[in-house]
Amino acid sequence: MASSPITMMKMKLNNCSPPSTAAAARFLPLLGPHQIRFRSSLALFHNPSFPRTIITRSTFSSSSIITGKFFYFAIPKLLSCFVFRRDVKNLKLEDDQTRIQRSKMGLIDGIAAMASEASVKVIDGKKVAKDVRDEINAEITRMKDSIGVVPGLAVILVGDRKDSATYVRNKKKACEAAGIKSYEVCLPENSTEEEVLKYISDFNDDPMVHGILVQLPLPSHMDEEKILHAVCIEKDVDGFHPLNIGQLAMRGREPLFVPCTPKGCIELLHRYNVEIKGKKAVVIGRSNIVGMPAALLLQREDATVSIVHSRTKNPEEITRQADIIIAAVGKPNMVRGSWIKPGAVIIDVGINPVEDATNPRGYRLVGDVCYEEAIKVASAITPVPGGVGPMTIAMLLSNTLLSAKRINNFK
Ligand SMILES: Nc1nc(=O)c2c([nH]1)NC[C@@H]1CN(c3ccc(C(=O)N[C@@H](CCC(=O)O)C(=O)O)cc3)C=[N+]21
């Protein structure tokens, strides 16, 4: 399939292309786009399994698909009813085996590549995060007015990683804006585990502090397991304590806190009315902080969940079956358009810096999903930046408020 003209067309020198496809794309001028479209349309007619009731509302002029001696006036009609069923308000996900099969055969790729990008819903994490923060703000005011308690969040940062320093700064700003008091400790890279444990122990005992976050990753000489275990579960607003994760994994149990990033992903799906129950979900990546808890959460929401990881044999094929994809691997643009079932909803957790000389910072951020390909196939997608990232911080504030309420028995 990699050599089909349709695929080559799709891969044409976009930002997601590895250098090898750039070489392949040199042959493209030999095949005009009209011929490519024509071929894919013909393939549709000649495929007996192609149902008549499909597909999207793209608009194509008939002239764009006239090629050679053939004139298929029926084609524009067919294409114009090609529906990915992307009802914006109530994103209904399709569960349609024939579609997957056609997608596998490469037939749908041609159409998907032509589908109008305007019909993809961009999930605005920044906006939703703002809404969530406003709600938290109101609750914090209510609590302060009623019982005089201000929620407090302690953040421990060890070492001088620039990205970590930025996240911590952003968290602090968000706390202040929401009316949460933040307590920050920055320790040098060469601090000892004991020093970190001492701070954790002090915060555990401090009644002003309702949440404790140890910024990850820790320097390599520290035992992450030991340190995360030291945070008392009642203040574990990151939800990384093994007891909280254990409760998350068990049926009929409730964790005190759910990890912020996965919680943010689910919150986005809820707020965009994406049905999860009964859907096929694929989580790409199995980290303790995102992939694994995200899979557990989706399962709690009654999705059927598969986890794709570095040792998965056929990640593309498995991912292509998903109605909902959560990508959390940390590999820029790893998920290509061909991995995505038409109409799928994509939550892209990756935040990867890639070199970009045109950007004043010298880099720009991209997700784990090749955005420009994905928007042609998916029904909804989170952008990077402005997708999951802001939700992570909003959920941290939400967990801190939850903790302060619980500790003070405030309803
Ligand atoms: N104990 C712990 N808890 C964490 O929650 C935690 C952590 N350690 N270590 C690092 C990761 C990463 N993380 C992010 C939070 C917000 C954005 C965020 O807001 N990103 C913006 C872009 C920011 C920019 O432009 O640089 C966005 O996606 O729009 C990103 C990443 C929390 N983490």
Per residue in 191-226, pLDDT (tens digit) is 999 999 999 999 999 999 999 999 999 999 999 999
Mean pLDDT of the chain: 82
Peptide bond into 385 cis (omega under 30): yes
pLDDT bin (cut points 50, 70, 90) of residue 118 is: low
User: How confident is the model at residue 117, as a pLDDT?
Assistant: 57
177 and 217 co-located in one domain: yes
Is the domain of 287 the same as that of 176? no
Report the pLDDT value the prediction gives residue 88, as an integer from 0 to 100.
35
Say yes or no: 112 and 208 in one domain: no
Number of domains in the chain: 3
155 and 87 in a common domain:
no
The answer to whether the CB of 386 is under 6 A from ligand 1 is yes
Residues 11 and 90 occupy one common structural domain: yes
Measure 200 CA to ligand 1 centroid, in angstroms: 21
Q: List the single range of 118-122, 140-144, 179-183, 325-329 with lowest mean pLDDT.
A: 118-122
User: Which of 17-21, 53-57, 78-82 is the least confident region?
Assistant: 53-57
In this structure, are residues 76 and 67 in contact, taking their beta carbons and an 8 Å threshold?
no
Per-residue pLDDT at 360 exceeds 90: yes
pLDDT value, residue 256: 98
Q: What is the pLDDT of residues 3-51, one digit of tens each?
A: 444 444 444 456 786 655 544 444 444 444 444 343 444 444 344 443 3
Annotated catalytic residues are: 171, 215, 238
Q: Is the pLDDT of residue 55 over 90?
A: no
Identify the bridge partners of residue 214 per DSSP, sorted by sequence position: 156
The answer on 106 and 164 residing in a single domain is no
Mutate to test the pocket of ligand 1, among 185, 228, 392, 396 (most ligand atoms within 8 A of CB): 392
DSSP 191-238: --HHHHHHHHHHHHH-TT--EEEE-SSPPTTS-HHHHHHHS-GGG-TT
Same domain, 73 and 220: no
Is residue 131 over pLDDT 70? yes
Cβ atoms of 395 and 260 closer than 8 Å = yes
Name the residue at shortest CA distance from atom 3 of ligand 1: 215
Which has the higher per-residue pLDDT, 127 or 6?
127
Is 128 within a domain?
Answer: no
Q: Quick one: which atom of ligand 1 is closest to the CA of 261?
A: 5
411 CA distance to ligand 1 centroid (A)?
30
Residue 176 lies in a domain: yes
Task: Please report, for the domain that includes residue 293, its CATH number.
Answer: 3.40.50.720
Range of the domain at 89: 5-118
Shared domain check, 399 and 367: no
Q: Are residues 385 and 270 in the same domain?
A: yes
Which pLDDT belongs to residue 43? 41
For residue 273, the 8-state DSSP code is T
Q: Is 219 a pocket residue for ligand 1 (Cβ < 6 Å)?
A: no
Which are the contacts of 251, defined by CB distance < 8 A and separation ≥ 6?
none
The answer to whether residues 248 and 397 belong to one domain is yes
CB-ligand 1 contact for 389 (6 Å cutoff): yes
Same domain, 162 and 96: no
Q: How confident is the model at residue 229 (pLDDT cuts 50, 70, 90)?
A: very high
- Rounded to two decimals, the ipTM of the complex is 0.96
**375 and 275 fall within a common domain:** yes
Contact call for residues 206 and 190 (beta carbons, < 8 A): no
127 CA distance to ligand 1 middle (Å): 16
